[in-house]
Structure 1
Amino acid sequence: MRARWLVLLGCLGIVAVLGLVWAIGHTARPSLPVVLAIVTGVVGLAVVPWTRLAVSRLKAEDEAYQVLRRVVEITILAALAGVGLTLVIFGDSQATAGVMIIAIFSAGALALLGAVVLPWIFLLTRTVTRERAARVRAEERSAMAAHLHDSVLQSLTLIHKRTDDPEVRRLARTTERDLRAWLYGSVQGQDDLVSAVTTVVSEVEDLFAITVELILVGTCPMDQKSEAVVGAVREALTNAAKHSGVQRVSALVEVTGEEVFALVRDRGRGFDLSAHASDRRGVVDSIEGRVRRQGGTAVIRSDVGAGTEVELRMPT
């Protein structure tokens, strides 16, 4: 709203300048102090709002703001010096009034040019330079990422798949994950579902030396419902790592407009649900109970020798 009022005042000032120009050519000249007061007020009304608007926009840009201040200070000093010298040399005369009007108008024009136009040109030039440098850095980073992907990452993946040593496999997987995060960027913290699930998967992989093939579709902010899903996914992955007997587990987490859907699957030894109905408290409490308390559903499917699936649905 303040910017809108400044623009309105600036436009009124320009109209006032046009009216003053017309009055100079069509009316009699008043006394010199009156001329000085009228011209100064009208030019100030035309210049000060635009200058204030530029100041409010450029305060965050220190270099451009310093340019603006210097221009305004020099313009004010030049206008005062011109008016003072004119009064000293010519006194109160028709020529004095004309020179004073020209000096004040010239100072106003220079202030508009220097305080409004030049800093914005300065910012535009610097922005173009920064964007060009950023584009060059992005191209260099992309080329480096492609090279590392074709060499180091492929080697780490091959080591991870071929070695039987759990420690070597864990080191290769951790190094690969860190390198991918550095090359392609990663979300840090627990502010959304994607970052939380990614953190859980990383922890389970490092703790149990398994590989989790994770697919993420969409995300949402963390709340009690999302935390329940993340906790249930962690428990499902932990159970798969402990009891399935396989080194590779798949996980899918999808966020739609209506629900959060998660599926954890392994192709391990599985178990008989009916035979374990009375002693599977970890599944009941940590997966089914956690999701059900927040209004969601959990379905566990397992067959001996065919693996286990844990399906979670949480309405958003």
Structure 2
Amino acid sequence: MISSVVKEQPVSLPEVLKILEENKETITINKQLQQQSHDLKRLSDRLKNANQALVEKDRQKDEFLDTVAHELKTPTASIRAASEILFDDDDMPVELKKKFLDNIVNDSDRLAALITNILDLEKLSNGREVMDKKQHSLKDTLHKAVDGVYQLALKKQVKIDVNEIESINLYYDEDRILQVFTNLLSNSIKFVSSKDGVIKVKTQLTDTTVLMFFEDNGKGIPQEDMEFIFDKFYQSNNQNVKKPMGSGMGLAISRHIIESHHGSIRVDPNFIDGARFIVEFKK
């Protein structure tokens, strides 16, 4: 239309309006194309990030499986070696024989605990675990957990300080919540120093929630690990906080248990004197 207009000839108003309309349509189409181009770029970036996340997850899974294989192999090899020694030496002194038998029992317990964690994690992550929720005293459950790790703390000379809390009754599966508390306390015992290690458990009540704080004066958790520490395949690259197999799965299991009770568990990023885990229950 524009090319058909001759300069020497006067242009009528309708023709001018038509030219303007065509220009307006062209501008609108260009804007739409630009917007679509931006949308495609954003989508491409999102797909790229998602792909990178999948690659990282796959790497973490491979590392996790390698670690599991190693953890399964170690006690199995130890049990076999001790059994062969006992089988080949009928004249072994009783005390030495007892020592080998104790090692076999301990390695068997370690192997059973690892297998239980693997099965627990699989059931909980797939929603196949049925919680036996009844009314329990949170104070009593916490003291059971502290009693359960008492020997570990005593052996390492670690102090566990539990603030006195009023009796709070909530509906939960006591075995599973006891498992969470025990895991958090055991992890703290592992990562604090001998003799001067201190673990504190505090409770805070609000109108709708119960908050429990598990604090220790250990090496703490790097900021870059906090977002991923509850992932079942995650192992920290920082050797100071690299999770032992039991505790690594234990944190993932703990998260599934707490979320199955409509609560939450997280690391406090503002706590700088060690590590602080916050468990939140709904009243």
TM-score of Structure 1 vs Structure 2, range by shorter chain? 0.3 to 0.5
Q: TM-score, normalised by structure 2?
A: 0.38
Larger Rg: 1
Ranked by relative contact order (alpha carbons within 8 Å, sequence separation 6 or more), the top structure is 2
Would you tell me which structure has more helix in proportion to its own residues?
A: 1
Q: Give TM-score scaled by structure 1 length.
A: 0.35
